[in-house]
Each structure stands twice: as C-alpha cells, then as structure tokens.
Structure 1
C-alpha cells in the first residue's frame, strides 16, 4: 500500500467544496432556482450560468473520485471492522443528524422568505452525497480489502501496466458512457437523489480507489498528458455549448466530464502536492462547511436579496456572507464544542493534543 502523503488530493477536495459554494450561490440568480428548492432572486444573472455549465459536469464526479481515494488512505491502518465503525461515525452519523437538524434549517429560511407557513420537513437535501458514499463503502469494502490483502498481485500489476498508457483514462470513461446509455438521465448534471447520480458516483468512487491502488503510473500518466485531457475536454465542451446548447448527448458529456477530471488530477499532482498551514486548516474545515453551507447561503439570500443594490453586488455580497458565515460557525462553534464535532464529521480531540492533531489530513 502507498504510504506517502498526498496533499494534492486534500487540496482538490477543498477546491471542490469551494466551487460547490459558488455554484449553489449562482443558482439563486437563475430563473429556475425555485424548481429545485432554492430561494430565487427577482433579478437574474443568466450570463453567470455559462461558466457553470462547464463546471457542473465534473464537480460532483470529482468529489466522488477523491472520496474513493480517501478510503484507500483510510484503509492503511484499519481492519474492516475499524473502518466501518470509523465511516459510521464520520459519514453516517453526520448524514442522519443532517437530515433531521440541518437541511430542515434552510427549509425554514426558505419558508420565511416566501411567507409560507413554517413546517418541519426532514430531508436529505444536499447531504445525499454522504448517503451515497456510505453505501459505496459497504458495497465495495470486501473487494477493496481483497485488493489490500493481495498486495502486489495480478490485479495491481495489470492496473499499473494499463495506467501507464495515456489512453487508459479514456478507456475508463467507457464505463461512464455505458452508465448514461443504460440509465438515460434526463440531465447529466442532475445527480442529487437520482439513479444516474448513484451509479456515476459509484463508478467514480471505485476508480478513485483503483487509481491510487495502482501506484504512481496513473499519476505519472495524467501529469504527462494533462493538457491532452484538458484540450479534449475543451473541444467537447465547445461542441456541447455551441451545437447542443449545453445539453449534449450523455455519452459525449461523460467523456468530457472525465477528461476535465483527469486533466485536473494532472495539474494537482504537479502544483498542489505540498502541505501548508492553510491546507491543514481548510482540509479539516471543508467537511463541516459542506454540511452547513446551504443554511448560511439561504440566510444570506434572505438578508441581501431585498436590498436596493445592483444585482452583481448582491451576488458578491451573498458569496462573502456565505464564506465568512461558514468560517465563523466552524471556527467558533463546531471546532470548539466537543459534543458537536462528531455530528459534523470532525474527530474528537483532547485539548492537550489538539495542536498536533489539527494537522492530520482528512485522508486518514
């Protein structure tokens, strides 16, 4: 098993969560926002959606890939019983708590904004991602521990050899093509609580694990050929944008999605594989911020949208409000109150060892 720390994977998780916040804020300023349960601005920034159409085909699959990689690192020092217990505490507990206590909060804000009768509606909301991850762990754990036990066996040698070729990542994309051909999603980017989101995430989680398991050859390949993958993705995005008005056939979008991701992996491996105090802090904060960001975002919309200011300033103000609000809640509440830590995916930390353990990566 690889033992070296992979700071680039931590960085990619942090970046993906940051992009998620921007993406969700952009939805507020689209005319269809209410159809998916978002507060909607009376004025629109439809031009803002143009870059989002490039982002929305790879942002969620990237998180699933990174989650599969994270499981690989978590398995290094744990047997299967320890891992299931740890994932139950870190994923299932925040997921169940979030359904009854977190997603209901932003629904209260939604009801307040539209002067609706207040009602309590437990639901998965944006936390569906955690439910999927936990199911993937349960399904794939026997196979993953077989691979761990097999060490440098035939499967690893075959994967390592295959991943040395630039076409191998493109070959992997065929599994994602098959998924969209079989599931036939209405929209490729409609992941939340859909079978397309489940199977797309399952494949990304599986291959994320296998990429790290296979050794350095995958990373050397995406490093060397990163601009090829990004170039292919850009061409496919151009076809999707100009010919299909952003909604290309699923098989083309599946290939585009993976090309963006493999290019990003190559860039991350080259430029981000180094630690820093900022990364140590952000890698701990990313998970609880993901859990609370929708509530903070909705409060920002409630307070800022009625203001008589230019619409672009409203977007910036909600963005700043969400970022600062999430930071304050994490830093002064979630991070410091021991009884809340486990409910938001954070490890219990004894005061005497807090300074040492805060540098621990979420990969473990």
Structure 2
C-alpha cells in the first residue's frame, strides 16, 4: 500500500467538529417534548424551533463519524501489523468502552433517576457509548480485508477499488449501498442508530467506504472537491423536501441519499478549507474523545441543576450548553489529562508527565 505521509488535518478537524455537534445535539434533546421518552432529563418548556437544524444534523452526524473511523484505520495500518492494530484498538476503544459501561453510562442514569425521584439503581449499560462497541466489532470484522488490500495493493481487488473510487461511480456505489441497507432493514425511524441493526449495518458500510475513499488516493478527493457545490445543493434540496413535508411520506431511501450528500459535502469543504495544522487542533484532537465519553454525565448534571430554575427557557439552553462544555473541558484538563492511570480509561496513552 502506498504510504501517505502527509497528515490529513481536515479529517482530524471533521472528527472534532462532529463530536462538538454531537454535544449540541444531545443538549437540544432535553428541550424537546419527547426528551424523557428516550431517557433524557427534559425541561418543562420546549424550544421547538431548535429542532429544525437538529433534524438536518440527525441524518449524517453519526454516519460521518463512522466514515471518519474507517479512514482512521487506513492511516493506522500503514505503520502497524494486524496484531499491533488489534492491540492498539483494544486499548483505545475496547477498554474505554468497557469502562464506560461500568462507570460512565450508569452515572448519568443515576442522575436522571434522582432528578425524577426514582429509586437510584446501578445499571450496567452502554448508553451513548454503543458507537465504540460497533467500531471495535468493525475493526475485527474488516481488518483482515484491509490488510489484504495493504499487502496486495496492485492486485485485482485493490486496483478495482481504486478504479471505482477514483471516478464518480464510487460515490454512486456509496449512495446505492446505503439505499439498499434501508430498503432491506427498513428502520423506523431512520435516525435511530443506537443499538439497532440499522445502526450496525449503516455503520459497517460507512466504515468500509471511509477506508476505501482514502485507499483510492487523491483522485476521489479531487472529484468531491470539484463537485462540492452540487453536493451541498442536492443535500439542501433533499433536506428541504423532508423538513417542509413536500411529500406526504418521506421514504427512507431519500433520507439515505441525503445522508451521503451531506457527508461528502462536509468532506469536500473540509478538504478545501480545513487541511492545515494548528495548535487548537492539536489540543482538541486529543480532548475530543475523552469529552465524548464523559459529556452525558455533565449534560445530565447541568440539566438537573438548571431546569428547576425559574428563568426563560432560552437562558436555560445557554446555561446547559455552558455547563456541559465547561464541565467536560475542565474535567479533561484537570483530571483525565493529568492523572496517568485514568488516561487509558479514556483512550489516551499513558505518559509519565502531563503533556
């Protein structure tokens, strides 16, 4: 496999931004009238308008992270054997996942139970960390194929993948594959990814295609860069049809197509504008993963303290956002980053001294 020594800062930025949007998205759920129904602490007052942009994010925020994760494996295997990759991903993904099931996800459930006057019960569950479990399974399932492609870069399969993804047909393959997934699985609703077969198979496809997009070389990125405005115009058009109810019943295959156009619009504009290093990226790329792991605990704690206050709901939203972000970054900076034995529990390498 031809080594790519130039770091793709745009992919790092997209991962950071996607996790930041995930936090905002989860905060917004607490201000919807159905938030409690899916296990969130819910404000007595709703902000219905905020769900319009959130519903746009909903169809591509998780698939985007699956694509990015597959791309990350491509870069990882260039300097690792199969055993080294499994060992590294076990430390970075499986250990935080198991720790989160035991210590992180049960914590925010206890906060919810206390807020609603329920009996506080310790419950092992993956919660929002289901994503990590999926990623680790994908690594186990697909790494033999990925290492085959690494070893046989000029073989028939490797050359075929490059030929397909170096042309517009590669994007069509992705769209048709995600469309076929929803036609077969028939998710209801499409946006329900957590602990569902839809989430598993959609994630598996995105993970695989993310790897293939980078494996194919610069030609694929040149294609989406050239057609970036068309990609985003189609994404906006499909979103407008969905959000304005221009069709009585939006079919899942249209939502799957919308997912692809949003995802590759993000990649195209990121490739053009974000592929540059910065001190902020160096810090945030390290912080994003631990913050993803802990953010629900601070969200639930902030919600439980702020929602009872007799203040405008808009101010509640601002305060919950502030509390969640400040709490997460503060805990990361003061505790996770500096306590050596906690670092591996949150996917960070052990270091003798803080960075």
Residues 29-48 of structure 1 aligned to structure 2 (within 5 Å) = 29-48=31-50
Given that residues 14 and 282 in structure 1 are in contact (C-alpha distance below 8 angstroms), is that contact kept between their aligned partners in structure 2? Answer: yes
Distance 2:59 2:246 in 1: 14
Give the unaligned 5+ runs of structure 1: 356-364
Distance 1:75 1:270 in 2: 25
Does 2:122 align with 1:120? yes
Give the aligned partner of residue 232 of structure 1.
234
Does 2:174 align with 1:141? no
Residues 220-299 of structure 1 aligned to structure 2 (within 5 Å) = 220-243=222-245, 248-299=250-301
Does 2:181 align with 1:179? yes
TM-score, with length taken from structure 1: 0.94
Give the unaligned 5+ runs of structure 2: none
Distance 2:172 2:149 in 1: 23
Give the aligned partner of residue 155 of structure 1.
157
> How many pairs were matched up?
353
Task: Report the secondary structure of 1:179's partner residue.
Answer: helix
Distance 1:189 1:318 in 2: 24
Give the aligned partner of residue 218 of structure 1.
220
Distance 1:349 1:163 in 2: 40
Residues 14-25 of structure 1 aligned to structure 2 (within 5 Å) = 14-25=16-27
Distance 2:343 2:42 in 1: 32
Following TM superposition, by how much is the alpha carbon of 1:245 offset from its aligned partner in structure 2, in angstroms?
A: 7.8
Distance 2:310 2:254 in 1: 43
Structure 1 residues 36-61: Cα deviation after superposition (integer angstroms, max 9, x where no partner): 10001100001110111111000000
Task: Report the secondary structure of 2:288's partner residue.
Answer: helix
Following TM superposition, by how much is the alpha carbon of 1:210 offset from its aligned partner in structure 2, in angstroms?
A: 0.7
Does 2:207 align with 1:205? yes
Following TM superposition, by how much is the alpha carbon of 1:167 offset from its aligned partner in structure 2, in angstroms?
A: 4.7
Distance 2:344 2:248 in 1: 40
Structure 1 residues 75-109: Cα deviation after superposition (integer angstroms, max 9, x where no partner): 11110011101111110000011001000110111
Following TM superposition, by how much is the alpha carbon of 1:244 offset from its aligned partner in structure 2, in angstroms?
A: 5.9
Given that residues 163 and 221 in structure 1 are in contact (C-alpha distance below 8 angstroms), is that contact kept between their aligned partners in structure 2? Answer: no
The root-mean-square deviation of aligned C-alpha atoms, in Å, is 1.3
Task: Report the secondary structure of 2:341's partner residue.
Answer: helix
